[in-house]
Amino acid sequence: MKVLVTGAAGFIGSALCLELLQDGFEVTGIDNHNDYYDPKLKSDRLARHINHSRYEHFKLEIQDRLAIQDLFKINNFEIVIHLAAQAGVRYSMENPSAYIDTNLVGFGNILEASRNYEISHLIYASSSSVYGANTELPFSIHDNVDHPVSLYGATKRANELMAHAYSHLYRLPTTGLRFFTCYGPWDRPDMALQKFARKILSEEKIPIFNNGNHKRDFTYIDDIVNGIKKIIKAPFKFDGNFNQKDPASSSAPWKIYNLGNNKSVNLMEYINALENSLGKKAHYEFLPLQLGDVNETFSDIDASVRDFDFKPTVDIEEGVEYFANWFLGYNQILI
């Protein structure tokens, strides 16, 4: 089976490529290798699988409609897993155009190419950020999600609606996966663990927003990747039940799932696990809630468990220790 993975040099994309290759898939990866963070990390992730006999890689912008169409035209992709996006809630306030260009225009190009070349299943990354101002916990796919509090979250919700239109009009099977705070080895430098680890080791103060009252559903990278793998061969088929009052229901081959750990953990517990793994205490600077942030995330994964046996297995202490060991080794830090 031939699979296209967009964002193949990214945190989740590269980890997924490794697993797909191990499982015998033929994988084509694309990435634009931009400088949102140090491109060396992307190159180092990619080095783990770029020379595999069943892997082919292209440096490509998903905003380039003609290039995307050409890529699909010369390949016979069966499955598309679209992970490429401009990430980051706070950065969306600094550079909104990047989110519009990549997350909206780019995703539109992927949808159109998937339609034109009869892709059997388009899987794409959504985000827990779509839940926005929602306060009822846990966050359920059956909740209304029409009150985003960040442009990033708004673009991800727009992706879900765009996918629904294509599923309805062209019977293109699409599945959106709402990731909940993915973490682990090879993550991005702008994510919490890398930022915190650097400050702990250099004895700088860690900025703790919302005065330490944040709670997040932290999900280990391997659990996210295993969830994606399980859904690949299970595109949603309309079973005749459609409730127009249920945001998770559709008469189209369209489905949304949460991929989370089904547990809400206080940010301070997360930091304490990192302190224990590094063997060093952190210095804190408590700050107010940042614009665009939410107090808490917590995933309801009942549908994911029911439909494709999704079972997160890695707890916070174990996952953070895996990250810390990678971080120290990758940066050649002795403690």
What 3-state DSSP class applies to 325? helix
- d(CA 35, CA 165) in angstroms, rounded, equals 33
Run of H or E residues at 216: strand 215-216
Q: Which residues lie closer than 8 Å to 325 by C-beta, 6 or more apart?
A: 185, 277
In contact, 90 and 12? CB cutoff 8 Å? no
Run of H or E residues at 259: strand 254-259
In contact, 246 and 324? CB cutoff 8 Å? no
Q: Which residues lie closer than 8 Å to 164 by C-beta, 6 or more apart?
A: 174, 250, 252, 254
Q: What contacts 24+ positions apart, CB below 8 Å, involve 304-312?
A: 304/227, 304/257, 304/258, 304/259, 307/234, 307/255, 307/257, 308/227, 308/230, 308/231, 308/234, 309/230, 310/226, 310/227, 310/230, 310/257, 310/259, 312/219, 312/220, 312/223, 312/227, 312/260, 312/261, 312/262
Return the active site residues. Answer: 152
Q: Reply yes or no: is the peptide bond before residue 173 cis, omega within 30 of 0.
A: no
Residue 198, phi-psi category: left (phi > 0), alpha (psi -120 to 50), beta (remainder): alpha
- d(CA 36, CA 70) in angstroms, rounded, equals 26
Token reading at 90: 């706070």
